[in-house]
């Protein structure tokens, strides 16, 4: 059984005991989180689609750790103007371990 979950503006496939990396969620390592924006639940041959979400379906997860993504480097340059600017960004992210997928109605 797996579910498609929406969090942080993105959708992720969540199956029991999977590790998924999502946009930052509040909480420390070891904290339990419930993701209730479930778009789809698939249980073998039975597929339940939500409009927009499946009623009663939830995904329980535990925060493994908080971290940052790989650094994105960027460089701005304007020809003949002696303008050069280098900058970077590391997006905060949360790594979750899926503990349970509950199907809705």
Locate the domains of the chain by residue range.
Answer: 2-102
Kindly report, residue by residue over 62-84, the tens digit of the pLDDT: 999 999 999 999 999 999 999 99
Which residues does residue 40 pair with via DSSP β-bridges, in sequence order? 4, 49
Q: Which of 91, 95, 99, 37 is nearest to 66 (CA)?
A: 95
What pTM was estimated for this model as a whole?
Answer: 0.83
CA-CA distance, 72 to 35, in Å (whole number)? 28
CA nearest 6: which of 55, 61, 95, 14? 14
Q: What is the pLDDT of residue 44?
A: 87
What is the DSSP-derived secondary structure letter of residue 52?
A: S
pLDDT per position as a tens digit, 2-45 = 999 999 999 999 999 999 999 999 999 999 999 999 999 998 88
Residue 86, CB-side half-sphere exposure with 13 Å CA sphere: 2
């Amino acid at each position: 059984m797996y579910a498609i979950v929406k969090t942080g503006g993105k959708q992720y496939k969540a199956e029991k005991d999977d590790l998924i990396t999502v946009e930052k969620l509040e909480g420390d390592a070891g904290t339990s989180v419930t993701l209730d924006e479930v778009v789809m639940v698939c249980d073998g041959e039975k597929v339940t689609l939500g409009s927009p979400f499946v009623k009663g379906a939830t995904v329980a997860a535990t925060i493994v750790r908080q971290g940052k993504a790989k650094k994105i480097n960027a460089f701005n340059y304007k020809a003949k103007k002696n303008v050069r600017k280098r900058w970077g960004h590391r997006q905060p992210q949360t790594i979750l371990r899926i503990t349970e997928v509950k199907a809705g109605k």
